[in-house]
Amino acid sequence: MSLLLEVEVRQVRDVVGAVEGGADRLLLTTATGLSPDLKQTLAVIRESSVPVRVVLRLNDSRTTTGGEFARLSGLIGEYVALGAEGVMFGFLDAELGIDLQVCGGLAEANPGVPWTFSDAIDDCLETSRAWRELRQLPGCDAVFASGSPRGLGVGYDELLELAQADPAAAAVLLPGRGLVAEQVPWLVRAGVRQFHVGVQARPSGSYRADVDAGHVRSWRLLLDGVR
């Protein structure tokens, strides 16, 4: 089974490098981590020959309001109508647990749209409970996690342990911030089948640079060579 490579893009000019380098899927976001506008989304989707998921987030917190819920649900429909394959979102409640009402409501209001639970999972107070609750949510086929809010540099051991102990979690795990090449073989052996790169796909490891086909290709070759 081939391993999926998702590449984060922030503008149209990132798309060519990501696709030419061998990305299987793109994640469209903005410099602020919020939802992109429809014009930008359409431009990226038209430029891409691989599926595109779009970040769904209207403010810089992990929560949402009733008014935002209506807008978020509408945005999912608008993104999909433009050609998006799916979305990424993740909202927490006041106790820093998964907001099942909001997340479940968004999924149920948009049946058949695949989605990724965001790195909000790393901010949950009870991580094991959060992973159990995610299984109740329809359509969630990826969980963007690092094992720590500070990234895989801190959370790698915990994330690897989770994947080794829980095949269901490994099957949807999308290792996130701070992934380095040395971690990939161990995660694959633990059952992980999809990987995300963001700044790693850019020269000098900087978001000031565009996504580079050569950088993406190095990750593509790494995933293709893991046994």
Domains, in order of start, for the chain: 4-225 (3.20.20.380)
pLDDT at 1: 63
Asked if 8 and 212 count as a contact pair (C-beta separation under 8 A), the reply is no
Alpha-carbon distance of 171 to 192, in angstroms, equals: 6
pLDDT at 227: 72
- Tell me the average pLDDT across 27-45: 97
For residues 227 and 89, the model is more confident at 89
pLDDT digits (tens, 9 = 90+) for 162-199: 999 999 999 999 998 999 999 999 999 999 999 999 99
Kindly state the tokens that stand for 45: 């989707």
Q: What is the mean pLDDT of the chain?
A: 95
Asked if 64 and 58 count as a contact pair (C-beta separation under 8 A), the reply is yes
pLDDT at residue 66 tops 90: no
Which pLDDT band, with edges at 50, 70 and 90, does 132 fall under?
A: very high
- Strand order across the 4-9 sheet: 173-175, 140-145, 115-117, 86-89, 52-55, 25-28, 4-9, 194-197
pLDDT at residue 63 tops 90: no
pLDDT at 21: 98
Three-state secondary-structure class, residue 8: strand
- Tell me the average pLDDT across 118-144: 94
